Structure 1
Amino acid sequence: MATIDSLPPLRDVIATHDLKARKSLGQNFLLDLNLTAKIARQAGDLTDVDVLEIGPGPGGLTRGLLSEGARKVLAIEKDARCLPALDEIAAAYPGRLQIIEGDALDIDPLEHLRAPIRVAANLPYNVGTELLVRWLTPPDWPPFWQSLTLMFQREVAERIVAVPGSKAYGRLALLAQWRADANIVLSLTPEAFTPPPKVSSAVVHLTALPAPRFEADALVLNRVVAAAFNQRRKMLRSALKGFAPDIEDRLHAAGIKPTERAEQVSLEGFCALARAVAAG
């Protein structure tokens, strides 16, 4: 297998350190370094950029990011078994890789990074969506990150880029597309991983917009969208009746038919509805 640096192939690294992927940690390792470098390139020119990586495992994507010129990679890894392998990468790229052992949900990466910052990760399946929602819903916008280049199960990736009228369209699509441009940039079969997962995967690239696409209060929009899709089979006048006694009037004010269902309403329509609800 081809390599991208002077370090051993990943299959050898995994054997040396006895790194069997753990299902409890949502681990599936990518062993093809040409593929991890290709994923790293989806994040754009990394020269003079700090990169946050979550769940590096044995360091396949880490090596891709560093070989593609990242100024610094901050790798947050929960599995202590992977730390010796990551330390070997840090030694091969002096001063450019910082490793923190811990849970990414509990660590503030901004203490260790300087702008511009991008996020690139083969996210552990069990925390991927939660991390994405956190990155898309900070108290202030623009966020700390310029872009997110993230691997998900294919089904989750399709939910992020979904359009109105599709089965995948829902809260995740609206959160992502309100404040970012989102595209699927790479598809991967289960055979690309060790062990092979039961589902296909895809890499999504999200670029932060300087301001949200349409005006709306973030908290109100989130509440309206959550209520609408929690009962997605109901007409909006029923699903949203708890918001206001005159919800039908507010739906009309937003240009939405009260008999429509959540999956029929565009992002612009939901933002208009959030403004109508907030006005009341």
Structure 2
Amino acid sequence: MSGSPDGLPPLREVIATHGLAAKKSLGQNFLLDLNLTRRIARAAGPLEGVEVFEVGPGPGGLTRALLIEGAARVVAVERDARCLPALAEVSAAHGGRLEVIEGDALQVQAAEIMTAPWRVVANLPYYVGTELLVRWLTPGSWPPGWESLTLMFQKEVAERIVAGPGSKTWGRLSVLAQWRCDARIAFDLPARAFTPPPKVDSAVVVLTPLPEPRFPAEPRLLDRVVGAAFGQRRKMLRQSLKTATPAAAALCEAAGVTETLRADDVSLEQFCALARALGEASAG
């Protein structure tokens, strides 16, 4: 035994016992150090009495940390059937507070199985991380059922989420995240912390939803404007926004935004103004 707070063997032993070599096709890189996984769990704030939704638990390193830190219930979605026996051992050791759903997280509606408010804490598989984040940021209504997202990404993705205008990493993810949330990088994790080590470092991002978006805009129209602008980020708005509306220059004028700006230099407030102007032009 490990001397681990939950009495379970170290993750290295669990992986060896169950033959859980990480699969590249599933974007798996396991974090084996319980001190690090508990640090991620604590970044989500005090977990006593809290429900947590986790994606891609693998052999259960972060899962164990969430339960040790006091989560009342953890619902974990795992695609890799090889991991299910190891996760069943975690559930048994923690009095059944862990529920495992075998399947694709893109097909699971957390709002249907969690009790609001819940928190999302996950070391996201690289291949679905960005898509899941966009879905969590664009629910049917706001504020969402989740009260925080504590997510591990490749460091370059994390930097895009928290970037500001004027930076080369300012983009669609930055706008979607910061329009409705406070976003910050809690800490970085070097590639060597993982087994096997990925080619890039990682970072843990914490997003906390605002009661209302920072500036009024219709989500669909905001995404349309932002997608057009960053789709041709080297072009001026009067050109790049033509994929959103033929009258791109008139749209900029109506929004009070200089048409010669490029997407990198357009602020969140200006993007929202462009989205409102697009809505007014469509209504007219």
Which TM-score bucket, shorter chain as reference?
Answer: over 0.9
Shift of 1:128: 0.5
Contact 1:4–1:64 (CA<8 Å) still a contact in 2?
A: no
Indicate whether 1:115 and 2:104 are aligned: no
In the TM superposition, what whole-angstrom CA distance separates every residue of 1:211-261 from its partner, at most 9, and x where no partner exists? 111100111100000001000011000111344454323313323111110
Secondary structure in 1 matching 2:242? coil
Q: Distance in 2 between matches of 1:268 and 1:18?
A: 51
Which residue of structure 1 lines up, in the alignment, with residue 161 of structure 2? Answer: 160
Contact 1:78–1:102 (CA<8 Å) still a contact in 2?
A: yes
Contact 1:153–1:199 (CA<8 Å) still a contact in 2?
A: yes
1:1-280 pair list within 5 angstroms? 3-280=4-281
- Provide the TM-score with structure 2 as the length reference: 0.96
Secondary structure in 1 matching 2:82? helix
Shift of 1:271: 0.3
Q: Distance in 2 between matches of 1:126 and 1:158?
A: 17
Q: Distance in 1 between matches of 2:44 and 2:261?
A: 38
Contact 1:227–1:239 (CA<8 Å) still a contact in 2?
A: yes
Seen in structure 2, the aligned counterparts of structure 1 residues 245 and 125 have a Cα distance that, compared at 3 Å, is closer
Q: Distance in 1 between matches of 2:24 and 2:63?
A: 21
Shift of 1:168: 0.6
Seen in structure 2, the aligned counterparts of structure 1 residues 2 and 271 have a Cα distance that, compared at 3 Å, is farther
How high is the sequence identity, in percent, across the aligned residues? 66
Seen in structure 2, the aligned counterparts of structure 1 residues 11 and 243 have a Cα distance that, compared at 3 Å, is closer
Contact 1:2–1:34 (CA<8 Å) still a contact in 2?
A: no
Q: Distance in 1 between matches of 2:227 and 2:109?
A: 27
In the TM superposition, what whole-angstrom CA distance separates every residue of 1:88-132 from its partner, at most 9, and x where no partner exists? 000011131101111111122333321220000000011100100
Task: Report the number of matched residues.
Answer: 280
Secondary structure in 2 matching 1:169? coil
Shift of 1:272: 0.8
Q: Distance in 2 between matches of 1:259 and 1:84?
A: 58
Report the aligned-residue RMSD.
Answer: 1.2
Letter in 2 for 1:185: A
Contact 2:58–2:78 (CA<8 Å) still a contact in 1?
A: yes
Contact 1:49–1:115 (CA<8 Å) still a contact in 2?
A: no
Contact 1:214–1:268 (CA<8 Å) still a contact in 2?
A: yes
Shift of 1:2: 6.7
